[in-house]
Amino acid sequence: MRRNLLIAGCLAACLVPWAAASVAAPHAAGSSGGAHASAIEALRQEFLSATNPALRGRILRQLRAAGRGSSDAAVLQRAVEAMLPAAESAAEARQLLSIAAANPSPGCDEHFDAAADRPYLLDARHLARQDADPQGDVEALADLRIDRLRVVHPGNNVLAESHVQQIWRINTAAGARSFASRSLMYAAMSETLCVVRARVLGPKGGQTQALISADRPVEERAASMYFDSRTRALEFPHLAPGDVVEIEYRLLPATELNPWADYYARMEPFRDGFWTRLRRRVLIAPESLPLHAVEHGVAPPEVESLRGETTRIWEMHDIPPLVSEALSPGASSLAPYLHVSTIGSLAEFGRWYRALLEPALVHWSFDGWQTSRDVNTRDTGLGVHIADLPADQLQPGQEAVFTFLWLQQQRWEGVNYSVVAENG
C-alpha cells in the first residue's frame, strides 16, 4: 500500500513540531551511554515498523528496561516523543508516557544564577518571622511568578521561561495534614520542570527538605488539558503548625521552537482557595514585542524599560480565599484575574491564524539534505494548504526532513522538521 506523507503546510508542522523535531539523530554519548542510546534507537525504529500487538508490547518492555541511567534520559525522551503518535491504543500511549515520566530528561542547569530574578523574589525566613494574625489552616505568604519572553526567530518564534516561588505558613494541625503532599504539573513535550528548592522551615530555625517523587503521567482528563501533562509530587511528611513551606521551581522551554509561532498568552487568577498575603506577577519582554493585558479587578502594573527590555509588575495584597458554591459562576466571573497576550483583538487573531494556513514552498530531502527538492503546497478549499511527498519511496524507519518558504512573506521558516516512515 502506498504510504502518503501529507504535510498540511502551515498547519501540521506548526501544531505538532515536537513529533517531527524529536526524531533527529541521537546525540553522542560515552561508551556505555552510546550503547544504550543505540539500543533505544533500535527499539524506536522497531516499534515504528511493528504491527503485531504482542511484538509492540515486548518492545515497550525492553524500552522500559533500557532506560536505567540519567545518561539515557534524553535519548529515551526523544524516542518516546517519536513513538507516541504511532501508539495504536490508549494502553500503549499510557505505557510510553509512564516510561518517559520515570526517566525525566535532566535539562536543568544546576549552576543557574538567579541574580536577575532576585529583585522580585522574597526571603522565606524573613517572611516566617513577620507577625501576622493567622488566616485559615494554611495561608500563602507569597505567590510569585516571573515570566521572561525572548524572540528566537524575529517575527516568528517567541519562547517563555518561568520562575515560580511560593511560600506558605501552616497554621493548624488540619492544615499540616492537608498540605503534606503537593504536586507540580507541567507539559512535558514543551516544558522542562526544574525544582530549585522544596523545603520546610521550622519556627526554631530548622530546615527539612521535601521528598520528591519521579514524574508521573496525568491520565485524568478532567485534571489536565493535554495528553503530555505530568506531575512531580512533593512530600512534606512531618509538617506541624508554625512551619513555613517554600517551593521554588523553573519551567524552561523543552525546544527552541514555539508551535504557535509568535503567539504568547497566559491567564492568571489572582484569587484561589488560600488566604494570600502577596501575589506578584512579573513579565519581562523585549520592548519590540507587542503585549496586551486585560486586568479584571487587578491594578495596572508598574512598568520599567531598560536596555531594550520592558518589565511589568502586577501585585495584589491580602487576598481572601475564594469560596466556591454549587451552581456558582466560574472563577473568572467571581475573582480578579490577569490575561496577557501578544494578540489584542479578534482581527489580530484572524491574521495570526491565517498566517498558519498561508501557502508555502516545501523544501524537502529523504537523504539528510545530501539532495533536496521543492514542491508548492496547494489550497484544499478549506483554508488549509497541503503538499504530498513521495513517501512510498521511504523504507520503514527512514527519515524525511523538510522546511518551509512562506511565499507571501518571502521568509524561510528557519527550522527543520522531520518525520519517520512507518509500515502501512
12: confidence class by pLDDT, cuts 50, 70, 90: very low
Could you tell me if 25 and 158 lie in one domain?
A: no
Contacts of 391 (CB under 8 A, 6+ apart): 2, 3, 4, 5, 400, 421
Task: Kindly state the percentage of the chain with pLDDT values over 70.
Answer: 76
Q: Using one digit for the tens of pLDDT, what is the confidence trace for 356-399?
A: 677 888 888 888 787 888 888 887 766 667 788 887 788 776 77
Q: What is the mean pLDDT of the chain?
A: 78
Does residue 107 lie in a domain region? no
Q: Verify that 221 and 367 share a domain, yes or no.
A: no
Same domain? 118 vs 68 = no
Last residue of a domain, one of 102, 123, 151: 102
Domain count, the chain: 3
Please, what's the b/e burial string for 108-133 (b: 16 or more CB within 10 A of its CB; e: otherwise)?
beeeeeeeebeebbbebeebbeeeee
pLDDT for res 311: 97
Instruction: Pick the last residue of a domain from 42, 76, 102.
Output: 102
pLDDT above 60: residue 7:
no
Residue 210 is assigned to a structural domain of this protein: yes
Q: Are residues 195 and 333 in the same domain?
A: yes
Residue 341 to residue 290: CA distance in whole angstroms: 9
Per the listing, cell 499540616 goes with 176
What pLDDT, on the 0 to 100 scale, is given for residue 314?
98
Which stretch of DSSP H or E encloses residue 266?
strand 265-269
Q: Where are the alpha helices (DSSP H) in 1-149?
A: 9-15, 17-21, 31-49, 53-66, 73-83, 90-102, 124-129
Q: What is the pLDDT of residue 403?
A: 81
Average pLDDT over residues 17-31: 31
- Regarding whether 184 and 66 lie in a shared domain, the answer is no
Residue 18's pLDDT band, with cuts at 50, 70 and 90, is very low
* Same domain (yes/no): 74, 178: no
Kind plus residue range of the DSSP H or E element containing 351:
helix 346-355
Q: What is the predicted pLDDT for the residue at 409?
A: 67
Q: Is the pLDDT of residue 13 over 60?
A: no
Residues 85 and 194 in one domain: no
Q: Compute the Cα dihedral for 44, 45, 48, 54 and give only its sign.
A: negative
Same domain, 94 and 119: no
Specify whether 386 is located in the same domain as 318.
no
CATH number of residue 327's parent domain: 2.60.40.3140
pLDDT of residue 340: 93
What mean pLDDT comes out for the span 157-186?
Answer: 93
Residues 105-122: what's their mean pLDDT? 74
Q: What is the pLDDT of residues 221-238, one digit of tens each?
A: 444 445 567 889 999 989
Domain presence at residue 399: yes
Closest CA to 311 of 114, 119, 113: 119
Give the whole-angstrom CA distance, residue 185 versus residue 220. 12
* Residue 157 lies inside a defined structural domain of this protein: yes
pLDDT, one tens digit per residue, over 289-323 is 889 999 999 999 999 999 999 999 999 999 999 88
In a domain, 7, yes or no: no
Is pLDDT larger for residue 33 or for residue 215?
215
Decide if 349 is inside a domain: no
What pLDDT, on a 0 to 100 scale, did the predictor assign at position 228? 66
pLDDT in the model for residue 229:
78
Tell me, yes or no, whether 162 and 304 share the same domain.
yes
Q: For residue 171, give its domain range.
A: 114-258+265-341
pLDDT score recorded for residue 317:
96
User: Is 171 in the same domain as 292?
Assistant: yes
In a domain, 363, yes or no: yes
List pLDDT tens digits, range 237-282: 899 999 999 999 999 987 776 767 778 889 889 999 899 999 999 9
Whether residue 4 is contained in a domain is answered as no
> Do 153 and 243 sit in the same domain of this protein?
yes
**Maximum average pLDDT range among 151-160, 344-353, 415-424:** 344-353
Domain boundary among 53, 70, 102: 102
Phi and psi torsions of 316, nearest 5°: -145, 140
